[in-house]
Structure 1
Amino acid sequence: MTMYAPTASGNAADLAAAISNNIEQVLRGKTAAIRLALTCLFAGGHLLIEDVPGTGKTSLAKGLANSIGGTAHRIQFTPDLLPTDITGVSVWHQQRQGFEFRHGPVFANVVVADEINRASPKTQSALLEVMEEAQVTVDGVTHGVPTPFLVVATQNPIDLEGTYRLPEAQLDRFLMRISLGHPDVAVEEEILSGRARSAPPVLRAVTSPDHVAAVQAEVGHIHVAPEIARYIALVAYGTRNHDALRLGVSTRGSLALVRAAQAYAACAGRHYVVPDDVKAVAGAVLTHRLVLSAHADVRGTTAAQVLAEVLDSVRVPTLSAARA
């Protein structure tokens, strides 16, 4: 296993490069999406990967889990899955004459929630507490989960049959939502030729949970200048007052954007946030938090289009102001 010293200068960038190179062994042509996933990891958030079947959602989720090391559990969400199948359950121990808690698969450093929108809303809600507070309460007893803790969920588009729409409260628990899309012709040809010759490689861990946790702590020290903070506040204000939106970005969403921008800057090897960091992560952090008005929905307007309008309308601070 490659060893890192995450608290030293620039190691977030080194670690991001190592994990990215590792994942690209099984997921070709998706460097930008992988970087966003690593940004989410280093920011200490949770990741939702939404796309049509066959685009590599599960490959990215599993690649991220395998690269980190530690414990990783995969939960296949189905309509008959129960909340206790995720969190665990208290069972009667005959010899001890008492109840004991049997941990569910959510107790891991990385939890891959595959096709999360195929489970019922009741089962989806089993993740609410643990994603927000890193703990599970069963029968009045609280159980902590390992650190770092990351949920990587995948889902197919809402309009496919056999799926349940994720409620806003659940979506808000995800720091970022990303899509992968189909590869271009050259990359797909390379994938097909490679798979014809040999099986895909088995990824090995390139770091440890302790190193990831140290980088997450370091991200909080990335400098955010007052001008950058004001820029983010104005973007949030712009969404709250846009005619096409029924619900704009909350203060929690603004804080999420700050944290993601800090992590993105750390991945670039910088100790301060610049406006381009904010723009790079704004779509992944904010669009799933926006609720369109009925009129905009009928017109076919998307949250991404509205966010782009808001970003264009807000004055971008200068680089010198970002460093101050």
Structure 2
Amino acid sequence: IEDVPGVGKTLLARALAKSINCAFRRIQFTPDLLPSDILGVSIFDGKENRFEFKPGPIFANVVLADEINRTTPRTQSSLLEAMNDFQVSVDGVTRKLHLPFIVMATQNPFEFEGTYPLLESQLDRFLMKVSIGYPGVRDEKQILASQRTANPIDELQPALTVDEVLELQAVTKQVRVDESLVDYLLAIIAETRRSNHLKVGASPRASLFLLRAAQARARVEGRDYCIPDDIKRLVAPVLAHRLIPKGRRSAGTDATVLAALQEITDAVPVPV
């Protein structure tokens, strides 16, 4: 989630965790943060004469990496295994993470001093990059009224259990995607790799994430099948942050990338 301070990025992550009644941990990313501060560390127990593993905050269902670009690439990379394989390896021992496992990260688009660009391998592991934006006057007035005496999140009740979330994830993977839609999706991906505006196109992981996101959108819309719009509407949120425009060294959403994606989606024929 890339947006200015104060629009509710952290609140959104907390609300998500509360709505499914699961473990939530917030990690404040700073320049002195170490991988062990995230993953955990083995501490020697003198009484038992053995090392005991103290799990870090990564062992939660919803993990918020707050201001993720304020820590070093070495510490950023400690999330790679967790985000890809839902496990972490510490001192030669691999430990499975709790499912469902979701990493949400925040960064400020206008502060660059004391920050580090996110690794391309890290960006590619995020399903989407989104912004919350400023609320409208009516919505902001409602925010002020609802928080006059208390924070509504304190009274938020779970809407689902963890088991129900896992079941929904499994059901979403069964949403039907016609072969013509798969070809449509792959044609869009292929064009990102051929575009004159992009130095690096979308990866096979991006293809899979776009497919999964389209299936999820169909499910939210109450359908058990995908339509072209499920893919087309999610091209920018799913792909933009992974692509490297020509003339730049790192990936990131900018006007060049968004224009290239718009050009691609306009040019690729939509199946009927």
Q: Does TM-score exceed 0.5, indicating one fold?
A: yes
Structure 2 residue aligned with 1:225: 178
Structure 2 residue aligned with 1:174: 126
SS state at 1:176 partner:
coil
Distance (whole Å) between structure 2 residues aligned to residue 206 and residue 70 of structure 1: 11
The answer as to 2:158 corresponding to 1:205 is yes
Q: Aligned ranges for residues 235-314 of structure 1 at < 5 Å?
A: 235-294=188-247, 301-314=255-268
Distance (whole Å) between structure 2 residues aligned to residue 287 and residue 142 of structure 1: 33
How far apart are 1:317 and its partner, in Å?
1.1
Higher relative contact order by CA 8 Å / sep ≥ 6: 1 or 2?
Answer: 1
Q: Which amino acid aligns with 1:198?
A: T
Q: Which amino acid aligns with 1:251?
A: P
Q: C-alpha deviations, 1:190-217, integer Å up to 9, x for none?
A: 323443x322211222211111011111
Distance (whole Å) between structure 2 residues aligned to residue 163 and residue 66 of structure 1: 30
CA change 1:239–1:269 in 2 (3 A) is same
SS state at 1:89 partner:
strand
Structure 2 residue aligned with 1:234: 187
Q: C-alpha deviations, 1:164-186, integer Å up to 9, x for none?
A: 11111110110111111111222
What is the aligned-residue RMSD (CA, Å)? Answer: 1.6
Q: C-alpha deviations, 1:82-132, integer Å up to 9, x for none?
A: 110100001111122111111001001111111111111111111011110
Distance (whole Å) between structure 1 residues aligned to residue 259 and residue 150 of structure 2: 40
TM-score (norm 1): 0.79
Q: Which amino acid aligns with 1:316?
A: V
Q: Which amino acid aligns with 1:238?
A: E
CA change 1:243–1:53 in 2 (3 A) is same
Q: Which amino acid aligns with 2:143?
A: I
Distance (whole Å) between structure 2 residues aligned to residue 291 and residue 76 of structure 1: 27
Q: Percent identity?
A: 50
The answer as to 2:60 corresponding to 1:83 is no
Structure 2 residue aligned with 1:315: 269
Q: Which stretch shifts more, 301-310 or 263-272?
A: 301-310
Distance (whole Å) between structure 1 residues aligned to residue 151 and residue 192 of structure 2: 43
Q: C-alpha deviations, 1:200-248, integer Å up to 9, x for none?
A: 2112222111110111111111101011001001101111111110011
How far apart are 1:69 and its partner, in Å?
0.9
SS state at 1:215 partner:
helix
Q: Aligned ranges for residues 48-67 of structure 1 at < 5 Å?
A: 49-67=1-19
- Structure 2 residues without counterparts, runs of 5 or longer: none
Distance (whole Å) between structure 2 residues aligned to residue 228 and residue 153 of structure 1: 30
Q: C-alpha deviations, 1:35-73, integer Å up to 9, x for none?
A: xxxxxxxxxxxxxx1111122111111111111112111
Distance (whole Å) between structure 1 residues aligned to residue 56 and residue 111 of structure 2: 30
Q: Which amino acid aligns with 1:250?
A: S
Q: How many residue pairs end up in the alignment?
A: 266
Preserved CA contact (<8 Å) 2:192 2:264: yes
Preserved CA contact (<8 Å) 2:197 2:256: no
